[in-house]
Structure 1
Amino acid sequence: MITKSASDVSNCKYSYLFTKNARTSWFKTLDALSVYKNKKLTLLLPAYIGINEKEGSGVFDAVIKNGADVVFYRVTDNLQVDISDFNNKLKSNDIDVVLVIHYFGFSRVDMDSIRTICEKLNAILVEDCAHAFYINADNSKIGNYGDYSFYSLHKYLATSTGGMLKINNTSLPNPVLDINDKIDFDALEKFASSDFKKIATIRHRNYLAYEEHLATDKNIDVLFKLESTDIPQTFAIRVKNGLREKLYFYLLEKDVPTVALYYRLIPQITENEFPNSLLISNEILNLPVHQDTKISEVVYICEKIKEFFSNEQNRN
């Protein structure tokens, strides 16, 4: 029947659910898959998941709430999937759901091969894109491989809340959201009115400025060299010689806000089994690249970092 106006709410529609935050998207996905599979889930997770006193653990709190069993796979020196360990764990365990976390907005792993082995072993792949913002990029290495991908709006926009779940495999169930699970209007309005391309351009520019000033500094390791399609969440470095905490407080005294993301890991990730994970957590420091950051501020931060290491060298 010919209609006077459009009435099919499912027509020409992205498969997005807007949630209170990213952890809600993750938990509601696990909840839906538990019902779908009619069993207690077994998850394959990266061995680099943080926790803190104020917020708990965005990833693991949802896992505990769901009651799933967990197997951990190793990560590399720059927090990518250790493919060998990943494949071994996936093959030797009856895994229902696999989680890949794109730390700080970067992917330097073959997501095609991960997608292929998950399909072969009938494991559902979920991408944690909380640090990433590639929602509509068709050629992105991030967010288009998982059966589900979830995002955290407040990590990219000027809002304190808001998450999004992207359902790439429409043969799997859509999570059911209660009213308290849904995004608030202010966060949704900021999402709808934001210029994503401009945000990406500024973040890209700021990251390149850090690279210019810090990439050759022997006191740190820069985790990722920027590629043209990258949209960074922060400029992530590893501070050598046990000086991360000291540098953090030095910068704080100089009015430089930094954060050490995942500086403390969940207790299930032990140093005995995952020494590399604990080493990274003791060295990680994240410098701001967000769209409010000016180039002059990036230069100032880099000057203060060099000043700190110069002072340390003079003391020794």
Structure 2
Amino acid sequence: MFIVNPDPYLLPTFRISPFATSFLSENEKLPFDNFADTYLDNKFNKKQWVYTINGRQAIEQALKNYNLNPTDVVTILTTSGNKYISSCVTSSIEKFCQWNRELSADTKIIFVNHEFGYPFQQMEKLLALNIPIIEDCCTTFFSNDDNNKLGKYGDYAIYSLPKFFPIQVGGILVANNSKLLPPTDLINDEQKQYIQKVLSFHLKQENNLLSKRKENFNYAFNKFSNLGFTLRFETKATTVPSVLMLNNNAVVKDLNELKVHFANYGVQSSVFYGEEAFFIPNHQSLSFANIDYLYNCLVQFLKNQ
């Protein structure tokens, strides 16, 4: 049984990030470990990456190296081709220049957003244009494309650690093609030690982490598909989604109202604006009972819509 109308102060909290309140104390108790640095050296090549406080700082640091003028244009492309894009991206670009959503003669940089864990499928075609590329890999830390080159096509790649780990801060800026990097990490020593120990702990359990994410994704989709929803993106073996993104298929009459409803139940979610789709949390910190709760929230909404 789930309590559907508790006191507002007694609501549970389900975030898109795996972070939950319980990790405050769990992270604090972890011993210092810098295994993460070795892992990232192997993943990105030694001395080609730095820690940042978050993904936004990594984006801005990359853009600083292009001497952009206010009238220059950064073109944002996404896996889906949808016009949906986080304000974290657009507001960061606006500090330097303008942005648009289609390639043009004014495009100075192509910013490729690998959405929700799903790789952009035409990276080789973009490379042939000989325009600088920045890859937004914030939701694709564990995903890869068919060429095993995700994050290696562009001059820079951007990562956000809270998208995949129960951590409150942390980003990574990766430089490819001998591009410039800051001489040191863009965080203080205390922040760095926090990121190192938390990230190290979870990277050492990478196989279990990925197995649990896949198990939860399959369990959740099996339940929600019974209501008539389908997956928005094709999920391959090399894809590790950051959310459960579902096509609505006219099941829900008002997706904006559904978003409000989920929030009232303590669930972070959003509409995939521009399409009849929405997304909800799906990560390794969820139990099957948690997923059952998310499902029950939606069932309650459908009964009353």
Match of 1:214 in 2: 224
Counterpart pick for 1:48 among 80, 84, 90? 84
Alignment of 1:213-292 (within 5 A): 213-215=223-225, 217-218=227-228, 220-239=229-248, 240=250, 242-253=253-264, 255=265, 257-260=267-270, 278-280=273-275, 283-292=276-285
TM-score, normalisation: structure 1:
0.69
Matched position secondary structure for 1:297: helix
CA drift of 1:18 comes to 0.8
Q: How many percent identity over aligned positions?
A: 23
Alignment of 1:175-186 (within 5 A): 175=182, 184-186=192-194
CA drift of 1:72 comes to 1.5
Contact 2:52 2:58 in 1 (8 A): yes
Match of 1:30 in 2: 63
Q: Distance in 1 between matches of 2:74 and 2:59?
A: 12
Alignment CA distance shift 1:135-1:216 (3 Å):
closer
CA drift of 1:134 comes to 2.6
CA drift of 1:213 comes to 1.6
Match of 1:267 in 2: none
Alignment of 1:80-91 (within 5 A): 89=103
CA drift of 1:14 comes to 5.0
Counterpart pick for 2:99 among 43, 57, 70? 70
Q: For structure 2, which runs of at least 5 residues remain unmatched after alignment?
A: 1-40, 78-82
Aligned length: 253
Alignment CA distance shift 1:142-1:210 (3 Å):
farther
Q: Superposition RMSD on alpha carbons, in Å?
A: 3.2
Q: For structure 1, which runs of at least 5 residues remain unmatched after alignment?
A: 1-9, 51-56, 74-88, 264-276
Alignment CA distance shift 1:72-1:175 (3 Å):
farther
Q: Distance in 2 between matches of 1:17 and 1:103?
A: 22
Counterpart pick for 1:160 among 168, 171, 174? 168
CA drift of 1:166 comes to 1.6
CA drift of 1:251 comes to 3.5
Q: Distance in 1 between matches of 2:258 and 2:222?
A: 20
Contact 2:143 2:238 in 1 (8 A): no
Alignment of 1:46-195 (within 5 A): 46=77, 47-50=83-86, 57-66=87-96, 68-73=97-102, 89=103, 92-107=104-119, 109-115=121-127, 117=128, 121-134=129-142, 140=148, 142-170=150-178, 172-175=179-182, 184-194=192-202, 195=205
Counterpart pick for 1:294 among 284, 287, 297? 287
Match of 2:21 in 1: none
The amino acid that maps onto 1:65 is: K
Matched position secondary structure for 2:50: strand
Counterpart pick for 1:19 among 52, 58, 63? 52
Q: Distance in 2 between matches of 1:136 and 1:226?
A: 11
Matched position secondary structure for 2:67: helix
Q: Distance in 2 between matches of 1:196 and 1:103?
A: 21
The amino acid that maps onto 1:42 is: V
CA drift of 1:256 comes to 5.0
Matched position secondary structure for 1:227: coil
Q: 1:222-263 CA deviation, whole Å, 9 max, x = no partner?
A: 31243211111110124445422332343444x451321xx5
Alignment CA distance shift 1:168-1:136 (3 Å):
farther
Match of 2:211 in 1: 201
Alignment CA distance shift 1:251-1:44 (3 Å):
closer
The amino acid that maps onto 2:50 is: L
Matched position secondary structure for 1:34: coil
TM-score, normalisation: structure 2:
0.71
CA drift of 1:126 comes to 1.1
Contact 2:243 2:281 in 1 (8 A): yes
Matched position secondary structure for 1:59: helix
Q: 1:128-175 CA deviation, whole Å, 9 max, x = no partner?
A: 1111213899954632322211100111111111000122222x2224
